Amino acid sequence: MAQVPFDIHVDTSFPDADHIPYVEFGDCVAFNNEKGGVIEYLKDEKIADLNSNHPNISSTTVLDTKAMVSSWLANALLYELWVVSAGSIANDIYFSDLPWPIGKILHWNKTRHVKQLLGITKLNAAEKEEEIYLKASAAYDSLSFRLGDQVFLFDNSPTDVDALFLGHALFVLSALPDTSVLRGTLQKHDNLVSFAEHHKVQLLETSSSSSSGLGSSPSPSSSTPRRRPSADHSYKPKPRAKKERTEEEKKFRRRAKYFLATQLVAVLVFLSLMGGVDSSELDDEDGLDYDD
């Protein structure tokens, strides 16, 4: 949206390797849970600031709309991922590549954290669900009204809110099942769905098509701003690709014993946790009592 050329890189050889998603620009790297997220990082580094194109729009209006997307819609998505679906969707996304005991423990811990974050207990679960979906519906109504028949939410160019909502909408439409209440609520607003589909084509599919025809030579017109050529950071030619994969395979073999040991420890920890849960606590699907 900021008209900064970029590439999407995926480790196709080892998709489950320990590579956390990040944004790289030159020698700088940003993770979404640091420095206010990727958007604030790009602002601080003077790389891209979507809001700078809107000097006449009240910053309060943009911030209020951004807060609504970051809270009401983000909470509704958390609720659907970890509570409504019993975590099955989240498990496929985050833990499917992990050994079962480790994935089970991490899943249980995250579900507990989300319920605490949203203030959900056994006694108020129904009321909280209604509240979460009402806020999400109100947020979609507000965004749909503001968007109208425009391409962007504010005038004729994007803001932070457009970027945040686009990420939310694409995830809801692509990852959540047809039975999802949140997805159904979003799909009631044709202009919001069209907004997501339009920008998906413009930003992702067009970029992917351009990148696919580049071959091995990087092109400044359709690739990520890369670091200056150096012995450490330049791209390696194709003949060495096989060697890189071989080295990574060796790395994974060296880590095999560690994973086996970790799995054994996880099994013991999981069994000890389950052994400490009495029959009365098993009535709750998470084995937790939030009323204490």
Note the pLDDT tens digit of each residue in 179-224.
999 999 999 999 999 999 999 998 876 555 555 544 433 333 333 3
The one-letter amino acid at 48: A
Q: How many domains does the chain have?
A: 1
Alpha-carbon gap, residue 42 to 49, rounded angstroms: 7
Is residue 19 scored above 90 in pLDDT?
no
Is residue 270 scored above 80 in pLDDT?
no
* Mean pLDDT for all residues in the chain: 73
The answer to whether residues 3 and 15 touch, using CB atoms and an 8 Å cutoff, is: no
Domain contains 169 = yes
pLDDT of 219? 37
Domain contains 17 = no
**DSSP secondary structure letters along 204-273:** IIHHHHHHHTSTTS--TTSS--PPPP-TTTSPPPGGGHHHHHHHHHHHHHHHHHHHHHHHHHHHHHHHHH
Domain contains 262 = yes
Model confidence pTM above 0.75: no
Domain contains 4 = no
The domain in which residue 153 lies consists of 23-226+238-283
Domain contains 14 = no
pLDDT of 139? 97
Give the DSSP letter of residue 17.
S
Domain contains 87 = yes
Domain contains 11 = no
Domain contains 99 = yes
More confident residue, 285 or 187: 187
